[in-house]
Amino acid sequence: MKRIIFICLFLFISGCKVFQPEESNFIPPSLIKQSELPPLQLLNFIDSYEFTCEMRLNSLGDVVNAKILTTSGDAVWDSLARLSLLNWKYTPAIYEGRPVELTIKRKVRMVVEKPQFYSLAEIEVQNYNKADSVYKALLAGADFIQLCIHCSCSKSKERNGMLGRVNINYFNNEIKIQIAALKEGEFTKPIPYGGHYVIYKRLIQNN
């Protein structure tokens, strides 16, 4: 049975180099989606591997800078892992009702787990009202690709919203559960994704 690297995340130290938030006025970011880290030879000998990293998040929850704080001893792996961290996505950190930039530290545990691959497409829009109108249009029979071309703000728009085969284990549980419940050809309701909303469609997968 094929096995892949799956990432489990645990908050290690939350910190900020932009401001010092008061807890009562601060909502910390939470992970939405992670990308696969490179294989590590060490995992041939142990069940898991942990490292600590630092990530700078912008006000949209995008990772704009990342550092590996505990080296694996493999400079190439550390460099590739840092590039992977730049593709992770969080909800925005909220301070006094406004999204803010934030620097966080996290402990990341890598373990081996069976993947769940789904063929997916997406439409990402900037607010709920637009997402709701796109969703209602889909329910009425509108073409997913055409709506993506005219409404999506994601880079995947250049590929008609196609994401290819995606391991849904890399989404947070809320998104993963909604996608896992889809039959081929079905789509989700609008799902919060950082400051935007995304509608995912499960495509018919050719064997």
Among the residues of 33-114, which ranges form H helices?
75-85
Quick one: 163 and 123 in the same domain? yes
Decide the pairing of beta strands 196-202 and 48-57: unpaired
Domain limit, last residue, from 93, 113, 133: 113
Domain limit, last residue, from 84, 113, 142: 113
Say if 207 falls within a structural domain: no
**Domain span at residue 171?**
117-202
CATH number of 150's domain: 3.10.50.40
Say if 130 falls within a structural domain: yes
Confidence at 206, pLDDT banded by 50, 70, 90: low
> Which is higher by pLDDT, 20 or 190?
190
Residue with tokens 């900020």: 16
Quick one: 25 and 90 in the same domain? yes
Quick one: 175 and 106 in the same domain? no
Quick one: 96 and 139 in the same domain? no
pLDDT on residue 115? 84
DSSP 60: T
Q: Who contacts 67 (Cβ-Cβ below 8 Å, separation ≥6)?
A: 53, 54, 55, 82
Quick one: 86 and 182 in the same domain? no
Reported pTM = 0.76
DSSP 186: -
Decide the pairing of beta strands 162-167 and 117-125: antiparallel
Confidence at 196, pLDDT banded by 50, 70, 90: very high
The total number of structural domains in the chain stands at: 2
Q: Over the stretch 138-182, which tens digit does the pLDDT of each residue have?
A: 999 999 999 999 999 999 999 999 999 999 988 999 999 999 999
Identity of the residue numbered 153:
C
Quick one: 9 and 100 in the same domain? yes
Q: Over the stretch 54-79, which tens digit does the pLDDT of each residue have?
A: 999 999 999 999 999 998 888 998 99
Say if 81 falls within a structural domain: yes
Say if 180 falls within a structural domain: yes
Quick one: 84 and 59 in the same domain? yes
Domain limit, last residue, from 113, 147, 173: 113
Q: Inform me whether the pLDDT recorded for 6 exceeds 90.
A: no
Q: Over the stretch 178-189, which tens digit does the pLDDT of each residue have?
A: 999 999 999 999
- Number of Cβ within 10 Å of residue 34's Cβ equals 21
Quick one: 57 and 99 in the same domain? yes
Quick one: 31 and 80 in the same domain? yes
Identity of the residue numbered 157:
K
Q: Residue 14 phi/psi, 5° resolution?
A: -95, 130
CATH number of 80's domain: 3.30.2420
Q: Are 31 and 172 in contact (CB under 8 A)?
A: yes
Quick one: 44 and 98 in the same domain? yes
Q: Residue 201 phi/psi, 5° resolution?
A: -120, 135
Residue with tokens 């769940």: 116
Say if 175 falls within a structural domain: yes
Quick one: 106 and 153 in the same domain? no
Quick one: 12 and 104 in the same domain? yes
Confidence at 2, pLDDT banded by 50, 70, 90: very low
Q: Over the stretch 88-124, which tens digit does the pLDDT of each residue have?
A: 999 999 988 899 999 999 888 887 777 899 999 999 9
Q: From CA 12, how far away is CA 180, in angstroms rounded?
A: 29
Question: In this structure, is the dihedral angle defined by the CA atoms of residues 77, 79, 80 and 81, taken in order, positive or negative?
Answer: positive
